Amino acid sequence: MQGNKLYQSQELAIKYFTVAIILFGAQLLFGLVAAIQYLYPDFLFNTLDFSIARMLHINALVVWLLYAMIGAVYWLLPDEAGIEVVGIKLANIAFYILTAAVAVVVLVYLFVQVGPGKESTIWFITEGREYIEAPRWADIGIVAVVLVFLYNVYATVMRGRQTGILTVLMADLIALAGLYLAGMFYTDNIAVDQYWWWWVVHLWVEATWEVYVAAVGGYILIKTLNANRKVVEMWLWIEVAMMFGSGILGLGHHYFWIGTPEYWWEIGALFSALEPVPLIGLFVHVLYDWGKERGKGNEIKNVPAFAWLTVETFGNFLGAGVWGFMHTLPQINLYTHGTQWPAAHGHLAFYGAYVAIMISAMYIAVQGKAGLERLKMTKAGWWAISLISVGVLLMTVSLTVAAYTQTMVERGMHGATWEGYFAAQSNMWFLQGIGWRLVTGLAVIVGYGFLVYDLITCPKHQPVEEGETAAAAA
């Protein structure tokens, strides 16, 4: 930012954030449809089938997070490097191409819900890989857009200031983009196919995305708390080392039951168990900074951004740490795999680790766009963070109740048979858990409404504190 004037890159970031928040809404909408279909399987049957609603729910999440991630980089890049992004026109063109491609892919998903699985299906309809179903033409387009993005980042950092945050981001983005290639080729053997597909999914969310979040989190800490840059950057390197150490071979916990050799049980068990360790390190660090800065009169410059960052720390710990460890070891994962356990873990972990920090980054952009020295929390902002956070937490608890029922009835009592599956699906506790998931989902959607309203209007609705009123009157 140059005074109140934004860099062109930051204006582009706002476009990315805008599409991200719209897709966030789409994610919630399709999640709502899928949640209703769990209870009323006839709901929208043959119009929007569960398989499509679920696919759109998850794909919208992945795509909006990627939009927000790219947006956050375009926001901080000129700020950190001290110059306008190199190739900004190309970046703008890439944004419109990507957005048009996403719209076409979603329309195809909606209009071609059933059909034969042929070579042309992979190219034009869907690749059929969970979480990254985009057809191959879109895959190639995504790679082209990401190459433009990487060029923008690298060329800008080479010409501008090279900070620690940018250096970590540069290395991380290469890995993030490169791993996508592992999900682009098709093999006839499903075990081999799944083996490479997990490279994208796991090594994104439990390695490269985590490092990305640490870097952007560091930037947000500098912006909100005036944190010491050198401390933030030095700690960033330590966290990167810890996350890569546990995250990369933690991949093993996805290799338990897909036909890979059994030694993955040992590797997966050991490194999955280590995955919460960096979170403890992060926890000690946050606690240390909070304790050291307490009472020093350092005002938080952007309260909503800081509040969402706090949600990120605790949500990440609970979702990824507690709910992850509950079912990650192979001995118990044998009974929980394919039940609602991964859904319970996934909802809170994604929310805690990624959603919260991306919303935090959006508030940094809101403050920058409005040119405010300080951004306080409005009532709508409090409603948004409370409804969404409590909603997601209770949704996780509801899903855990349903998951426990499945584990006991379907796996424990009936030994993972079809009979067991249907016995669990009609069990009272399972249905109640799924019912409460729907209720909590509605709370999240109301919270989302407050969030959108607050992101648009909060600079105009800044609360005036008592001291400020007195000063203004004097």
Partner 1 sequence: MEYYMPDIPSSDFLAIFVVSALIILFGMAYAGFFTLVKLKLLKRAFMVAAYGSWLVLVGLMFYLGELLRVEPYTQKVLIGAMVGYLIFPHIVYFLVDRLHERFERKPSESQ
Q: List strand residue ranges (DSSP E) for 310-444, in order.
A: none
- Closest distance to partner 1 from the beta carbon of 372 (Å): 16
- Closest distance to partner 1 from the beta carbon of 51 (Å): 29
**Alpha carbon separation from 142 to 149, 150, 174, 423 (Å, rounded):** 10, 12, 14, 43
Binding site for partner 1 (CB under 8 A): 222, 226-231, 234-235, 238, 262-263, 265-266, 273, 276-277, 280-281, 283-285, 287-288, 291-292, 294, 317, 321-323, 325-327, 329-332, 334-335, 404, 407-408, 411-413
Residue 249 CB neighbours (<10 A): 17
Choose between 325 and 436: whose C-beta lies nearer to partner 1: 325
Three-state secondary structure call for residue 2: strand
- Closest distance to partner 1 from the beta carbon of 163 (Å): 11
* Sequence-distant (≥ 6) Cβ neighbours of residue 214 within 8 angstroms: 168, 236, 239, 240, 243
State how far the Cα of 235 lies from the Cα of 216, in Å rounded to an integer.
13
* Sequence-distant (≥ 6) Cβ neighbours of residue 118 within 8 angstroms: none
Q: How buried is residue 210: exposed, middle or buried, by Cβ count under 10 Å (0-12/13-18/19+)?
A: buried
Choose between 5 and 89: whose C-beta lies nearer to partner 1: 5
Choose between 314 and 436: whose C-beta lies nearer to partner 1: 314
- Closest distance to partner 1 from the beta carbon of 319 (Å): 11
- Closest distance to partner 1 from the beta carbon of 85 (Å): 20
- Closest distance to partner 1 from the beta carbon of 17 (Å): 23
Helix axes 229-247, 263-274, angle to 10 degrees: 160
Residue 45 CB neighbours (<10 A): 11
Choose between 191 and 234: whose C-beta lies nearer to partner 1: 234
Q: Which pair of tokens denotes residue 312? A: 């990120």
Q: How many helices (H) and strands (E) does the chain have?
A: 20, 0
Q: Is the dihedral of CA 77, 80, 86, 92 positive or negative?
A: positive
Looking at residue 258, the DSSP 8-state letter turns out to be S
Choose between 158 and 234: whose C-beta lies nearer to partner 1: 234
- Closest distance to partner 1 from the beta carbon of 465 (Å): 25
Choose between 292 and 461: whose C-beta lies nearer to partner 1: 292
Choose between 186 and 263: whose C-beta lies nearer to partner 1: 263
Choose between 123 and 257: whose C-beta lies nearer to partner 1: 257
- Closest distance to partner 1 from the beta carbon of 69 (Å): 23
